[in-house]
Structure 1
Amino acid sequence: MSPGLGGLYLKALTGFTKRGGELPTRVYERVGVGVDAEHLASYNQVCGFRLSDELPATYLHVVAFPLQVKLMTDADFPFPLIGTVHVANRIVQHRPVGVGERVDLRVHGENLRPHPKGTQFDMISAASVDGAVVWRGTSTYLRRGPGSGGSVPDPVPMPTSRWHVPGDIGRRYAAVSGDRNPIHLHPLAARVFGFRRAIAHGMWSKARCLAAFEGRLGGGFEVDVRFKLPVLLPGVVGFYADQGTGRFGLTDVGGTRPYLSGVVGSL
């Protein structure tokens, strides 16, 4: 059974006294996980994917996410969940996963390391069918604090199209993902955490970008993104994609502020 995110978020409120340390080596697992077709259809609609008998590559992140939260809210996890920022996500899909297939999930943490703005670590999620890994996700999280120094900003390409991001997309994505962080749900709640308005989920932004490539990718591919700046809701963003290099991203409409940068390519 999937861990209940509501109870885990309440548990996260008790974790503010955590002060760092080593990542636990524990692995959480779910075996024989199936997909609810209605839930998948709702997810596809929110993120811009077509209805299909194959899972979007970002969907298994949603399925594995409760296991990540369970691990990050354990008493021996070194950082509090609240205030820990999702800064990057890499997905490797070795082959498409069918709606009717059942997968075995494994989640663990690794690679604790310095970051220019604090400390970062990876949460690794893997999905297997009949013992073979078919999908692997790496979510990189940042805990702000004393860091390792400055970083060089990436150049921002000019967008080639504009997308309108509705004000309720945070609530809609929360409903299908279970990620009900208050910064995504309401402007008043977001202001408590320093944002002028509610902000879009990073994984919604990634999924929406990947949907723009639908039908152009093979069965096996890798998609890697960095979350740069928050997308305020509602808003208008610019999207760019270079078919030759596989690089893509989201910016403001003037192409001066990067929200997300990524690259996608076949295995």
Structure 2
Amino acid sequence: MANLTLLYAKAALTGFTRRGTALPESTVDVHVTVDPAHLARYNKVCGFGVRDELPITYPHVLGFESQVRLMTGPGFPFPLPGLVHVANRIRQHRPIAVSEPLSLHVALADLRPHERGRQFDVVTTASVDGEEVWVDVSTYLRRSGGTSAAPAAHASPPAHVGPPTPTASWRLPDDLGRRYADVSGDRNPIHLRALAAKAFGFPRAIAHGMWSKARCLAAFEGRLPDAYEVDVRFKAPVLLPGEVDFSSSGTGDGWRFALWSDRPHLEGVITR
């Protein structure tokens, strides 16, 4: 994780001077193999069991350093501090075995207006021997004041009218952000300590959005098909420590799920 530490330091020192109207065409290609010990730690913190296949969210962790490298590289128009991770969509074409080496391709795409600023995608594709097996699209928002731009291009999952009936409740410890940071490499200060989070306007440290997504999918373990897509919108931060309610319900071709406390934190859909 040393490289990520250097990248975060670079972002803190140079990011606030960044201005621009276009995304660079830079890409990153890496080849990775899964460390079973690291995977076991990830599974433990996210609630997955031990299996011979990767959780659908795990390749996101393998590509995270490359994603940060693009967002701290030459020509990137926004400071990394202050970017808001608003959505994530993953499509798995088939299960990925733990033993399979992966080729990851990471690119920036689709800078577009948002009603609160501008948003863009970080697209990570995983292939095995030239076969695309997995695609991850993370959407980030750069807020700006006084804009009347159109809403996001991707439609959100159907919103609940009120809090859904919970099927489980989870108590989240105050060190959850640090534990997930240890396995994901995402050491954004807002997830690590309350004091750092307060500097960015949060009363306490907040959970990682991708931990929230992974924990929800762990609740479906054993029921998911080999090929499916899972699309989530991150609605409001989950404060640590805290307690959240998880709910799920079947749809015609999958499931809908949500995390709530006094407000919605995450809403998502799984499509076969």
Q: In structure 1, give the amino acid aligned to 2:221.
A: E
CA deviations over 1:179-236 (Å, ceiling 9, x no partner):
0011000101100000000000000000000001111011111000000000000101
**Where do 5+ consecutive residues of structure 1 fail to align?**
none
CA distance in 1, matches of 2:159, 2:39: 35
CA deviations over 1:226-263 (Å, ceiling 9, x no partner):
000000001011111012351101011xxx51100000
The residue aligned with 2:196 is 189
Q: Is this contact kept in 2: 1:166–1:233, CA < 8 A? A: yes
The residue aligned with 1:262 is 268
CA distance in 1, matches of 2:123, 2:24: 13
Q: CA RMSD in A?
A: 1.7
Q: Is this contact kept in 1: 2:113–2:150, CA < 8 A? A: no
Aligned-residue offset at 1:157:
3.9
Q: Is this contact kept in 1: 2:169–2:246, CA < 8 A? A: yes
CA distance in 2, matches of 1:208, 1:165: 11
The 5-angstrom pairing of residues 73-222 of structure 1 reads 73-146=72-145, 147-148=147-148, 154-155=159-160, 156-160=162-166, 161-222=168-229
CA distance in 2, matches of 1:87, 1:218: 26
From 235, 241, 251, give the equivalent of 2:260: 251
Compute the TM-score of the two structures, normalised by the length of structure 1.
Answer: 0.94
Q: 1:229 to 1:208 in 2, by over 3 A?
A: same
SS in 1 for 2:89: strand
Aligned-residue offset at 1:4:
1.3
CA distance in 2, matches of 1:212, 1:34: 26
Aligned-residue offset at 1:55:
0.5
Q: Is this contact kept in 2: 1:93–1:135, CA < 8 A? A: yes
CA deviations over 1:83-120 (Å, ceiling 9, x no partner):
11110000000011111100100000011111111100
CA distance in 2, matches of 1:79, 1:193: 17
The residue aligned with 1:19 is 19
The residue aligned with 1:10 is 9
SS in 2 for 1:86: strand
SS in 2 for 1:230: coil
CA distance in 1, matches of 2:159, 2:98: 38
Q: 1:159 to 1:187 in 2, by over 3 A?
A: farther
Aligned-residue offset at 1:149:
5.5
CA distance in 1, matches of 2:101, 2:126: 9
Task: Give the length in aligned residue pairs.
Answer: 261
Aligned-residue offset at 1:265:
1.6
CA distance in 1, matches of 2:239, 2:20: 30
Identity of aligned residues (%): 58
CA distance in 2, matches of 1:20, 1:168: 37
**Would you say 1:63 and 2:62 are equivalent positions?**
yes
Aligned-residue offset at 1:165:
1.1
Aligned-residue offset at 1:154:
3.3
Runs of 4+ with deviation above 6 angstroms: 150-153
The 5-angstrom pairing of residues 42-57 of structure 1 reads 42-57=41-56
CA distance in 2, matches of 1:154, 1:219: 27
Q: Is this contact kept in 2: 1:206–1:225, CA < 8 A? A: yes
Aligned-residue offset at 1:166:
1.2
The residue aligned with 1:242 is 249
Deviates more, 1:197-206 or 1:11-20: 11-20
Q: Is this contact kept in 2: 1:88–1:139, CA < 8 A? A: yes
